[in-house]
Amino acid sequence: MYRTHTCGELTLADLGKDITLCGWVQKSRDLGGMTFIDMRDRYGVTQLAFNADDDEMLRARARELGREYVIQVKGTVIERSSKNLKIPTGEIEIRVADLLVLNAAKLPPFLIEDETDGGDDLRMKYRYLDLRRNPLRNNLMLRHRMAQAVRSYLDGQGFLEVETPVLIKSTPEGARDFVVPSRMNEGQFYALPQSPQTFKQLLMVSGFDRYFQIVKCFRDEDLRADRQPEFTQIDCEMAFVEQEDILNLFEGLIRYLFKTVKDIEIGQLPRMTYADAMRLYGSDKPDTRFGMHFVELNSVLKGAGFPVFDNAELVVGIKAEGCASYTRKQLDALTDFVKRPQIGATGLVYLRVNEDGTLKSSVDKFYNEAQLAAWAEAFDAKSGDLILVMAGDADKTRKQLNELRLEMGSQLGLRDKNKFSALWVIDFPLLEWDEESGRYHAMHHPFTSPKMEDVALLDTAPGEVRANAYDMVINGTEVGGGSIRIFQKDLQQLMFRHLGFSEEEAQAQFGFLMDAFTYGAPPHGGIAFGFDRLASIFAGLDSIRDVIAFPKNNAGRDVMIDSPSPISQEQLDELKISIR
Amino acid sequence: MYRTHTCGELTLADLGKDITLCGWVQKSRDLGGMTFIDMRDRYGVTQLAFNADDDEMLRARARELGREYVIQVKGTVIERSSKNLKIPTGEIEIRVADLLVLNAAKLPPFLIEDETDGGDDLRMKYRYLDLRRNPLRNNLMLRHRMAQAVRSYLDGQGFLEVETPVLIKSTPEGARDFVVPSRMNEGQFYALPQSPQTFKQLLMVSGFDRYFQIVKCFRDEDLRADRQPEFTQIDCEMAFVEQEDILNLFEGLIRYLFKTVKDIEIGQLPRMTYADAMRLYGSDKPDTRFGMHFVELNSVLKGAGFPVFDNAELVVGIKAEGCASYTRKQLDALTDFVKRPQIGATGLVYLRVNEDGTLKSSVDKFYNEAQLAAWAEAFDAKSGDLILVMAGDADKTRKQLNELRLEMGSQLGLRDKNKFSALWVIDFPLLEWDEESGRYHAMHHPFTSPKMEDVALLDTAPGEVRANAYDMVINGTEVGGGSIRIFQKDLQQLMFRHLGFSEEEAQAQFGFLMDAFTYGAPPHGGIAFGFDRLASIFAGLDSIRDVIAFPKNNAGRDVMIDSPSPISQEQLDELKISIR
């Protein structure tokens, strides 16, 4: 036993106790004949007092302690003269009788404080020091609590946690696999799972009825900002269920998580069709913390002789309340924002409803007073509002206006990280056209079932077929998605055919699953949540990196352990592979 | 909602209720004008009754249902005339009003019954059908309960569950790594972790204080019986602890598991030094469900002119109570057993204590009555006992006698799977000599700390240095092991030097860890349990395979999904590797 207590628990109730504490030197200061040291561990900070009158040698040794030294002290709990009521231990200090340095420490390369002076690269290299800082440790403690709460809820609902294999089989569908050469099966490879999809479906065929797992998944993709090659899913599947059952049960999960982890009641989740989400927000993951939904203006603004609108497939706008006072400069900045290559709009039109009720637009010469009034009317605009309008190809314009809406939401402070707005987006399209390959791809994955009433459209209008697929969206982020699966071999074969698989390809890659469907597969469906993302939203972070203990950088490298790295010729020889 | 209830819950309390059930056809039988079907799901079996007098068409359809068809029935709960009190639903049946076939099923390739007719290969190929059988599903439900209980205990003890990376760095120490070529870092590889050892130590340096994880680990080893290339550990680490703290806390875990999962009180775990374990059982994982410990006989049996004993380093034996009646044939079989190449003994000597008290040995001509009596006396042998003695090189003979002891335990029914005997083996040697490489290897791993009082021996008698290392053993199986770690850079460097690492090698492979030790590393230690093994012991199984949902065969193949498999030329090109 190195200690009798932690640094977070001693209070006035412990006055007079002889205790032993261990921890890190957070900081020290001298005050007359006294030296005070803040000693830190995971549980808190306790003040140590060394009095030269008591023991001058001991005090001298205390003065030599550097930041981040690991020490053990024995002493007595006494009342502090200068109390700090912000921390639980702030009314006491330890009158130290004995001090042992357990390990010295070099000066850390950056400050171990809530606000640090370390740059990203340095903090990644010394991640083990960055993790000492309260904000990071708190994120990971939050993640721990979330994981326990997820399991507790699902266990209570009769779900069984089953581990599925990590060394599986490479399939060309979907993202790029990480592969693992097999030494015992020369020239062959395992793949790391992008998700346990087929295994959880097989568990339903096995009659496991309700399955879950908090599980690592892998994708060898070029890392866009805030993607990690390995990430964690809360993966779930249920048998004998319809979409409604899944939405209800997992809405329950998310409500339970908010309640138990953050003590927030988020209430019932609204449901929005994919079509509505695209029409009203230009996004299948609308940020519903604020309104500002789209108003379509074709009937209001087309035909007045303004060629940009007249030639557009869609004229659509948003109303920014109280922004009529935006200056020319601010408006130009918004126009520049939408013209950035990442967004790619050609321009932005505004209509101001001035405080005196007059209307002023950037395209005044094409519209008379009555037309401008009808324009404002379409938004139910009031004095002081600003209307922003874009036009062009419908799909592209919606996406562009979505970006502008989010930007306006940010500028107006409507995207508060402490406010949470969750919803279901449902009725996703089954297929989406891929320009590059010139064929339809599965929007979710090839195991997603079409809505029965839409199956007939597969041959005539594949893009219009809706799927039994759903996403959970919180604050404009997709935190989870799933579907009711196909469970009949015939329908699965039909789907593979529509996705451009030959019969041989389908059999080679997913034959075991289609075979399984012939031995008594129950109807089933499921969902997977991105656990990193969910934790980052709960933590109020923009990035998933700081809810992961040891993340990789954007080049897929762990700069702390310097991985990946070359391997030995002997290893390559055993695997019978060569580097080109 | 496909169902109102499961197949495991309806009882007499539900009489008269209109219900909907779903499940699989377990079996059906005709009886006069009635057809009865046992319908199965994860929760149980419910009997369905189809009466020709009620609805002849419906009954005809019921008769056409094959085994494993997935069906939905609507009906009323009625009392059975012929009750089955062995199952919770055995007093009721469903008078079926409506039947829907959700999915037909081909005849399974083997019986879906507790005792199946399927061979191993067939059951592995159709694992999803094998998992329908109660024994397998029960194993995985037991594993689920164990996982939840482990987390509940450790969470309650202040441990934080932290996910460590799966894509890490290859190190030559230890077993062979699985490696993963990096597309973004040409010619470089990740490795899959054999354990999260260094990461959990870094978390201690980070001040996480108590860490755990139930985590997949990987070893690319030639698969001996009952090894899997991927396996699961309960991985734990604590800071500011001594060995005693860890033994107590994890003894608590195992007691909690036995109590909550199996309702068994296993009591306090005895502690045995490695030296005693080898001396008394010839094994560092003694099966202590039975006694029969070794008695060393050098002083009793050497020097009587029997050359085998006289020339042996060690003469040692066990007493098999009540086995004096073993026939010549049985004794010959035991001799053959120890002479098998896997054991490699040269012979076996016996001494019988006959029912009449007379003594009879296989080496009578070398020993007189008094000497035989002394021999029996050394074992405190009684009438009816059989003493079995082996001799030779001490280490080898102990290992051989261990095999014989276990065999005798099995023959005498002393290795009951429903009896559990757990203990700690402590004070392991730090190093063991490796004949092949001609150097010392770390017996646990290079981060294990030596006992301070033995450090001086590192230079003079490395093999005698004891480590702060411990194993938990249950029923002769090592279920967990760990150590107090080195936390000082100097000592870690010294260890690497003794293990034959050059300074450059040590720095290249573990530089980040030794660097971390210089920034304030606390004393720490931990343990890892083999979760598959632990679950198999709880389930009373000899093999870990049937506590794993989708295991691989002895060639490392998943025969169900046919993996590993070739990958495309495009994939190889992207990874810049070639198959030789």
Render pLDDT for A435-460 as a digit per residue (tens, 0 to 9): 888 888 898 889 999 999 999 999 89
- Stretches where chain A sits below pLDDT 50 are none
The pair phi, psi for residue A432, each rounded to 5°, is -135, 145
Which residues are paired to B92 by β-bridges?
Answer: B79
Separation between Cα atoms, residue B450 and residue B470, nearest integer Å:
12
> Is the backbone of residue B263 left (phi > 0), alpha (psi -120 to 50) or beta?
left
Name the closest residue on chain A to residue B489, using Cα atoms: A103
Separation between Cα atoms, residue A534 and residue A557, nearest integer Å:
23
Contact B523 A102 (CB under 8 A): yes
Tell me the three state secondary structure of residue A566.
coil
Separation between Cα atoms, residue A62 and residue A500, nearest integer Å:
73
Segment (H or E) for A477: strand A477-484
Render pLDDT for B312-346 as a digit per residue (tens, 0 to 9): 999 999 999 999 999 999 999 999 999 999 999 99
Residue B65 in contact with residue B76, Cβ under 8 Å? no
In angstroms, what CA-CA distances link B569 with A187, A480, A499?
12, 34, 22
| Contact residues on chain A for B3, CB-CB shorter than 8 A | 240
Separation between Cα atoms, residue B21 and residue B2, nearest integer Å:
8
Separation between Cα atoms, residue B272 and residue A185, nearest integer Å:
42
Mean pLDDT of B481-496: 94
Neighbours of A83 (CB within 10 A): 13
Contact A549 B164 (CB under 8 A): yes
Q: What is the reported pLDDT for B533? A: 97
Render pLDDT for A169-215 as a digit per residue (tens, 0 to 9): 998 777 899 999 999 999 999 999 999 999 999 999 999 999 999 99
Q: What is the reported pLDDT for B82? A: 92
Amino acid at A196: P
Q: Is it true that the peptide bond before A564 is cis, omega within 30 degrees of 0?
A: yes
In angstroms, what CA-CA distances link A346 with A126, A186, A294, A349?
45, 55, 18, 10
Separation between Cα atoms, residue B414 and residue A423, nearest integer Å:
60
Contact B126 A519 (CB under 8 A): yes
Tell me the three state secondary structure of residue A377.
helix
Which residues are paired to B387 by β-bridges?
Answer: B319, B351
> Is the backbone of residue B414 left (phi > 0), alpha (psi -120 to 50) or beta?
alpha
Q: What is the reported pLDDT for A370? A: 94
Given a cut of 90, whether residue B420 has pLDDT beyond it is yes
Residue A72 in contact with residue A21, Cβ under 8 Å? yes
Name the closest residue on chain A to residue B575, using Cα atoms: A579
Contact B166 A216 (CB under 8 A): yes
Number of residues written out for chain A? 580
Q: Which one of B127, B160, B568 has the shortest CB-CB distance to A141? A: B160
Q: Which one of B2, B131, B170 has the shortest CB-CB distance to A206? A: B131
Q: What is the reported pLDDT for A578? A: 95
Neighbours of A14 (CB within 10 A): 15
Give Dmax over CA atoms of chain A in angstroms: 93
Name the closest residue on chain B to residue A198, using Cα atoms: B561
CA nearest to A70, candidates B245, B199, B207: B207
| Contact residues on chain A for B548, CB-CB shorter than 8 A | 163
B287 or B442, higher pLDDT: B287
Distance from CA of A52 to the nearest CA of B (A): 26
Q: Which one of B144, B181, B563 has the shortest CB-CB distance to A168? A: B563
A96 burial via Cβ count (<10 Å: 0-12, 13-18, 19+): buried
* Token couple for A341: 């290559």
Q: What is the reported pLDDT for B174? A: 76
Separation between Cα atoms, residue A96 and residue A76, nearest integer Å:
7
Neighbours of B14 (CB within 10 A): 15
Separation between Cα atoms, residue A75 and residue A553, nearest integer Å:
45
* E-only strand ranges, A88-133: 92-103
Say what the pTM is: 0.96
Q: What is the reported pLDDT for B508? A: 87
CA-based radius of gyration for chain B: 30
Contact B163 A137 (CB under 8 A): no
Given a cut of 90, whether residue B217 has pLDDT beyond it is yes
| Contact residues on chain A for B203, CB-CB shorter than 8 A | 128, 131, 549
Q: What is the reported pLDDT for A29? A: 95
Residue A6 in contact with residue A44, Cβ under 8 Å? yes
Name the closest residue on chain A to residue B68, using Cα atoms: A520
Most B-contacting residue of A167, A233, A562 (CB-CB within 10 A), to test interface: A167
CA nearest to A172, candidates A191, A185, A199: A191
Most B-contacting residue of A68, A168, A189, A548 (CB-CB within 10 A), to test interface: A189
In angstroms, what CA-CA distances link B480 with A200, B257, B477?
29, 14, 9
Given a cut of 80, whether residue B224 has pLDDT beyond it is no
* E-only strand ranges, A169-256: 179-181, 189-191, 210-218, 230-239
Residue B25 in contact with residue B68, Cβ under 8 Å? yes
Classify residue A542 by its DSSP letter. Answer: S
| Contact residues on chain B for A69, CB-CB shorter than 8 A | 520
Q: What is the reported pLDDT for B323? A: 96
Q: What is the reported pLDDT for A410? A: 97
Contact A167 B209 (CB under 8 A): no
Name the closest residue on chain B to residue A523, using Cα atoms: B102
Amino acid at B223: L
| Contact residues on chain B for A128, CB-CB shorter than 8 A | 202-203, 205-206, 516, 519
| Contact residues on chain A for B199, CB-CB shorter than 8 A | 549-550
Given a cut of 90, whether residue B474 has pLDDT beyond it is yes
Contact A558 B167 (CB under 8 A): yes
Distance from CA of B145 to the nearest CA of A (A): 8
Distance from CA of B453 to the nearest CA of A (A): 18
Render pLDDT for B78-94 as a digit per residue (tens, 0 to 9): 999 999 999 999 999 99
Amino acid at B475: N
Tell me the three state secondary structure of residue B341.
coil
Query: Residue holding tokens 């219900």?
Result: B19
| Contact residues on chain B for A144, CB-CB shorter than 8 A | 155, 160-162
| Contact residues on chain B for A223, CB-CB shorter than 8 A | 184
Q: What is the reported pLDDT for B172? A: 76
Please give the full DSSP string across A262-328, using - where no structure is assigned.
H-----PPPEEEHHHHHHHHSSSS--TTS----EE-HHHHTTSS-HHHHT-SEEEEEEETT-TT--H
Residue A518 in contact with residue B106, Cβ under 8 Å? yes
Tell me the three state secondary structure of residue B113.
coil
Given a cut of 80, whether residue B249 has pLDDT beyond it is yes
Separation between Cα atoms, residue B455 and residue B490, nearest integer Å:
13
Contact B103 A521 (CB under 8 A): yes
| Four-CA torsion A462, A465, A467, A473, nearest 10 degrees | 100
Separation between Cα atoms, residue B344 and residue A274, nearest integer Å:
72
Separation between Cα atoms, residue B266 and residue B269, nearest integer Å:
8
Buried-state track A257-295, b at ≥16 Cβ within 10 A, e below 16: bbebbbeeebeebeebebeebbbbbbbbbbbbbbebbbb
Q: What is the reported pLDDT for B235? A: 98
Contact B520 A68 (CB under 8 A): yes
Distance from CA of B544 to the nearest CA of A (A): 14
Q: Which one of B165, B191, B520 has the shortest CB-CB distance to A105? A: B520
Tell me the three state secondary structure of residue B56.
helix
Please report the domains of chain B, with CATH numbers, ordered by start residue.
Answer: 12-103 (2.40.50.140), 137-272+422-547 (3.30.930.10), 290-411 (3.30.1360.30)
| Contact residues on chain A for B552, CB-CB shorter than 8 A | 165, 167
Q: What is the reported pLDDT for A440? A: 87
